[in-house]
């Protein structure tokens, strides 16, 4: 009898261990129950593809936020991305496409691209992304009944920006808020070095041995809106773009024939900071609390 029990256990346990050790876990199969679709234009090929809406959100979360972020941060990203997409769709319903697949709107990556990027980690990472999307399925943000333009970016300077100080409109839910968690970001500070000649060439300014910088206008958090370089008037965001800086919060220092630029933050600074969201999640905040911090006085609704 004892031998029979042992043999029976071995018959059960050995195949289980074999499967556990040698067979790779398959990806989670989620069924998105929705009739909604979105038209996505590939900026490289100019092709337009129509996707199930939640499938698109999965590709955006994977493209916009690192998969190793906390699950509550990924869920906040899913709701923000869904809100942003719905907001864009209301403005583009008479056009041939709704969104671009790049940072011009939101980065969308296909499964093929993700498999190439993640390789052996694909199953683990895509399951985590799918979990974040599925657990917030259909959820989006509203302000007084209207869909929110849920902008987001990588890393703040310690505070986010008021929308009108970066873009045109003063939106009541895109107010400057504290974001102390961003100091954990690898992009919180950065340093760039240029030759003086290269610096002038990139900004299309005549060469001069002496470099003079005069900041004429800043945002309330210290980002440079306008400045003069050797008496040439420039926009701070244009300078950041032309020099490929991470943000327009910068300091320019000349050292003989070299120019050093120190920056803080990464991105435009309006809406949800992704590294801030991850920092909040690490402290135990839930995704709805993260969203209400970065998008003031908003409510979560469900499609």
Task: Say whether pLDDT at 182 is over 70.
Answer: yes
How far is it, in rounded angstroms, from Cα 118 to Cα 10? 37
Contact indicator for 152, 273 with CB cutoff of 8 Å: yes
Per-residue DSSP letter, 26: P
At 105 the pLDDT is 96
Instruction: Provide the 8-state DSSP code for 104.
Output: T
Q: Where are the domains of the chain?
A: 37-170+269-302, 189-264
Question: pLDDT tens, 119-175?
Answer: 999 999 999 999 999 999 999 999 999 999 999 999 999 999 999 999 989 999 999
Residue 19 clears pLDDT 50, i.e. is over it: no
The residue among 230, 242, 227 whose CA lies nearest residue 205 is 230
pLDDT at 21 over 70: no
Q: How confident is the model at residue 33 (pLDDT cuts 50, 70, 90)?
A: very low
Residue-wise over 89-106: b if at least 16 C-beta within 10 A, else e?
Answer: beebeeeebbbbbeeebb
> Which range has the worst mean pLDDT, 31-40, 130-139, 274-283?
31-40
The average confidence (pLDDT) of the chain is 91
Residue 76 has pLDDT above 80, yes or no: yes
pLDDT at position 40 is 97
What pLDDT shows up at residue 93?
Answer: 76
Q: What is the pLDDT of residues 79-92, one digit of tens each?
A: 999 999 999 998 88
What pLDDT does 44 receive?
94
Distance from C-alpha of 259 to C-alpha of 158, rounded to nearest angstrom: 26
Rounded percentage of the chain residues whose pLDDT exceeds 70: 88
- For residue 2, what pLDDT band results from cuts at 50, 70 and 90? very low
Judged against a pLDDT cut of 80, whether residue 188 lies above it is answered with yes
């Amino acid at each position: 009898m004892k031998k029979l029990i042992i043999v029976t256990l071995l018959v059960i346990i050995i195949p289980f261990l074999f499967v556990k050790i040698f067979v790779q876990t398959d990806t989670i199969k989620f069924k998105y129950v929705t009739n909604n679709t979105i038209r996505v234009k590939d900026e490289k090929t100019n092709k337009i593809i129509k996707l199930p809406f939640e499938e698109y959100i999965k590709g955006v979360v994977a493209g916009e936020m690192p998969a190793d972020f906390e699950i509550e941060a990924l869920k906040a990203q899913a709701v923000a991305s869904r809100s942003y997409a719905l907001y864009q769709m209301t403005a583009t319903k008479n056009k041939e496409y709704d969104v671009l697949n790049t940072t011009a709107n939101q980065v969308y990556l296909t499964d093929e691209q993700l498999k190439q990027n993640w390789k052996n980690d694909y199953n683990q990472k895509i399951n985590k992304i799918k979990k974040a999307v599925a657990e917030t399925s259909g959820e989006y943000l509203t302000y007084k009944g209207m869909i929110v333009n849920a902008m987001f970016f990588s890393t703040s300077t310690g505070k986010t920006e008021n929308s009108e100080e970066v873009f045109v409109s003063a939106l009541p839910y895109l107010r400057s808020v504290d974001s102390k968690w961003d100091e954990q970001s690898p992009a919180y500070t950065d340093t760039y070095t240029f030759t003086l000649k290269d610096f002038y060439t990139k900004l299309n300014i005549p060469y001069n041995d002496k470099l003079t910088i005069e900041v004429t206008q800043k945002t309330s958090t210290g980002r440079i809106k306008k400045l003069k370089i050797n008496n040439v008037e420039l926009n701070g965001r244009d300078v950041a773009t032309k020099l490929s800086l991470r943000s327009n919060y910068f300091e320019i220092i000349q050292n003989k024939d070299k120019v050093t630029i120190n920056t803080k933050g990464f991105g435009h600074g309006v809406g949800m900071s992704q590294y801030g969201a991850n920092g909040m999640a690490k402290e135990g905040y839930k995704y709805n609390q993260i969203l209400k911090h970065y998008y003031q006085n908003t409510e979560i609704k469900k499609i």
